[in-house]
Chains A and B, each alone.
Chain A
Amino acid sequence: MPIALYRIDDRLIHGQVVVGWGQPLDIDFIVLVDDNVACCDWEQDLYRMGVPPEMEILFADVATAIRDHDRYARDPRKGLLVTPDIPTMQRLVYGVPYIREVNVGGIHHRAGRVQKLRYVFLAPEEETQLRAMVESGVKVTAQDVPAAREVPMSEVLGPSAPEARSA
């Protein structure tokens, strides 16, 4: 079964992901793709404790996620994949060309970032990375929770953002 949601969220595992998206999408497993978490048992234990017992959580660095993506997609259960930032998702998208949609779910304030939406703050280089993903044919939208409006990148980044090519 294809991965139901590819999400960029700097909080990784939290209420919006596990409950907000996990319940309506009936998610059975989460793939957490983060080079730092993938090599840290303690961090993995922390996130494992954050998901309900019926939900499996897998950890992968980007290279492993690219290698194992077919296996995730063939799993009969429903899955959600989350990365902590745009560069990680960009590397994954370039390594797995048939990822067609990406959800920007939460990129919060830090120095150098400008607020675009209530839950999306972007540095100039991050805007460039999002534009590049859109130009590569990926539909990138911002949406923190399922009940919220899906905001196209052209609206988030401004009118110069190219629209995704049709699949």
Chain B
Amino acid sequence: MKSSDESPADSPRPRAVVAGHGDFPEGMVSAVEQISGRGAVFLPLSNRGLSGEDIETRLKSVAHQTGIRVFFTDLPAGSATLAIRRMMREDPELILVTGTNLTALLEFVFQSDADSVAAAQQSVEKGRASLGAFGPR
């Protein structure tokens, strides 16, 4: 629960977009918010009902309006991933992390002092390390 004297100015500014299928972006951002209270670090963008061209247009618009240069997507083959890779042709400074999981996003949230490249790389390492399978062999 937020304290009563917390002002809107305390909300973190968006630093990355979470893009992907269905409710994945909203769901992941909601989970980040529940765990850390910093869901506002991410802007969610679903590809639902959009053509590849529309996805790219929306992502470009968000990047242009916010200055965001980091994008997290769900699937390497997803249309959001392909759209961002197209954007990277025009702007090689953009950073794409694909195969995103909650651990990766939480790591990014708490890497607020790191530069974007370092924060994204650290997110990938943590996210990859968090995957596991348990049970009978």
Contact = CB atoms under 8 A, between A and B. Distances in A.
Interface of A: 10-15, 17-19, 42, 46-47, 49-52, 106, 108-110, 118-119
Given A108-B54, A109-B49, A15 B77 contact: yes
A49 B51 CA distance: 19
A11 B54 contact: no
Interface string B48-80: 011111100000000000000000001111110
B99 to A, nearest CB: 12
Q: How large is the interface on B (under 10, 10 to 19, 20 to 34, 35 or more residues)?
A: 10 to 19
B50 A108 contact: yes
A118 B22 CA distance: 13
A13 B75 contact: no
Contacts of A51: 77
B52 A10 contact: yes
Interface in B1-59: 21, 49-54
A127 to B, nearest CB: 18
A49 B52 contact: no
Nearest to B86: A46
